[in-house]
Amino acid sequence: MATQLEIARAGEISEEVRFVADAENVDAELIRDEIAAGRLVIPANKLHIETNLRLAGIGRVLTTKVNANIGTSSVRSSVEAELEKMKSALDAGADAVMDLSTGGNLDEVREQLLARCPVPFGTVPIYQMIVDRNVEDIDGEVILEVIEKQAKQGVDFFTIHAGVLREHLPLLENRVAGIVSRGGALLAKWMLYHNKQNPLYEMFDDLCDILAEYDVCFSLGDGLRPGAIADATDEAQIAELRTLGELTARAQEKGCQVMVEGPGHIPFDQIQYNMQIQQEICNGAPFYVLGPLVTDIAAGYDHITSAIGGTAAAFYGASFLCYVTPKEHLGLPDADDVRAGVIASKIAAHAADIARGLEGAADRDKKLSEARTNLDWQTHLAESLDPQTAETMHRKACKEIGVAELPSADYCSMCGKAWCSVRINREIREAIKKQDAAKK
Ligand code: SF4
């Protein structure tokens, strides 16, 4: 069976393309064209399609998508807690979920999550390669075994850090934060220990064969992404990006769909350049960015720093935003952190979609604004990105002003009745209407 890329290149419109086209109200032929050019992916493992996957496309002609990372750690691992986090992510509107588990029974966690995951599901297979062994003991057999096992489970996209090369490591000497990617750090350790090239790079063609068989989409990892503002857009980051460009072309040549991962910590004024250079080097392959975080000093609020960077990234070239939770750099997120992170990223993605003029992107904004102007609280709250939080806040405010029934409030506690400009506006409109009627 062919991959989505091969089908598109053959000029055919697959069922999956049709589904995405209908879901986003975009011409199916345009989507086919974008997939064939390597600028759009539908991460959909053939086995996940057969169970519960609701297909989603990632590319510049579609809305910007948001991913939520969940997963156990060696300190805390429970399948139930991860299922709760995934539910929280999906309820908040995550378009994809990645399981980054490193603790407990990884196969079981993945299996349970996948069985209940209706959106594209990603993993970082190298994490499983070091279970019960030291990183130095990873060999070709282990790599292929883990990749194949996860592909057979139905994973839709894999982060593969094949672009970190031995020759890149000396470029890290002057970095403030060194290597912050877990996959990147593990592979650097392996390369230094064995004094050999990155095995994922050396075995890349074999990996392509497995990914193509199941149509697992590559998410080419940025193992050398900057983890500090001071390290942004440095030589190491760009050197790896050039390798990712080469690997993108090689994987596409073998029929694989490819996304490319990007930074990281980037000052706001460097985001545009970072998006442009990725699009240029990787020939328009969908860019999947972590944040980017526009400052290092907002611990506890990094969902906000990443949303600021995420809007700019999605405006200038990214197609897929990986959320960041308020716990980033501080601890393993819980379900509430996941929710806060997804909502922040959804705001960033949506703001960018409006700004880049995607057809219909601002329709919901208009609907909400009309409801707000008409003091139609039910529609106002329902159309919000996070209706649950909006309603909780508004009900509390209604209590403060002694209004029991939510729809009957014709002002709120923000300005008070006499100062409510929305209410005053309504009175002005009615007065103008009466005047106009009297003139006729
Ligand atoms: S009181 Fe102020 S914030 Fe509340 S509805 Fe009226 S104008 Fe809006």
Q: Which of 151, 90, 83 is nearest to 118 (CA)?
A: 90
3-state secondary structure 1-44: CCCHHHHHHCCCCCHHHHHHHHHHCCCHHHHHHHHHCCCEECCC
Pick the atom of ligand 1 nearest to 375's CA: 5
Q: Closest ligand 1 atom, CA of 416? A: 1
Integer CA distances (angstroms), 280 to 319, 366, 422, in order: 15, 35, 48
Helix (H, G, I), strand (E, B) or coil at 358: coil
In three-state form (DSSP H/G/I as H, E/B as E, the rest C), the secondary structure along 150-210 is: HHHHCCCEEEECCCCCHHHHHHHCCCCCCCCCHHHHHHHHHHHHHCCCCHHHHCHHHHHHH
Burial class from Cβ neighbours inside 10 Å (0-12, 13-18, 19+) for residue 106 reads buried
Q: Whose CA is nearest to atom 6 of ligand 1?
A: 420
- Comparing CA positions, the residue from 348, 279, 257, 430 lying closest to residue 67 is 348
Cα dihedral 42→45→49→50 (10° resolution): 160
Spatial distance between the Cα atoms of 342 and 141, rounded to a whole number of angstroms: 37
Pocket-testing residue among 412, 423, 426, 428, ligand 1, by greatest number of atoms within 8 A of Cβ: 412
Closest residue by CA, ligand 1 atom 3? 414
Q: Whole-prediction pTM value?
A: 0.95
Going from the Cα of 405 to the center of ligand 1, the distance in angstroms, rounded, reads 17
Nearest of 303, 299, 273 to residue 287 by alpha carbon: 273
Ligand 1 neighbours, Cβ below 6 Å, are 411-412, 414-415, 420-423
Q: Which residue has 């064209």 as its token pair?
A: 33
Ligand 1 atom 5, closest CA: 411
CA of 404: how far to CAs of 275, 378, 391, in Å? 50, 14, 13
Q: Which atom of ligand 1 is nearest to the CA of 423?
A: 6
Cα(326) to centroid(ligand 1), Å: 29
| 3-state SS assignment for residue 392 | helix
DSSP 436: H
CA of 424 to the centre of ligand 1 (A): 10
pLDDT by residue for the chain (440 residues), tens only, comes to 799 999 999 999 999 999 999 999 999 999 999 999 999 999 999 999 999 999 999 999 999 999 999 999 888 889 999 999 999 999 999 999 999 999 999 999 999 999 999 999 999 999 999 988 999 999 999 999 999 999 999 999 999 999 999 999 999 999 999 999 999 999 999 999 999 999 999 999 999 999 999 999 999 999 999 999 999 999 999 999 999 999 999 999 999 999 999 999 999 999 999 999 999 999 999 999 999 999 999 999 999 999 999 999 999 999 999 999 999 999 999 999 999 999 999 999 999 999 999 999 999 999 999 999 999 999 999 999 999 999 999 989 888 888 876 667 888 889 988 999 998 998 999 999 999 999 88
Ligand 1 centroid to residue 413 C-alpha, Å: 7
Q: Where are the alpha helices (DSSP H) in 97-139?
A: 106-115, 126-129
Ligand 1 center from residue 392 Cα (angstroms): 16
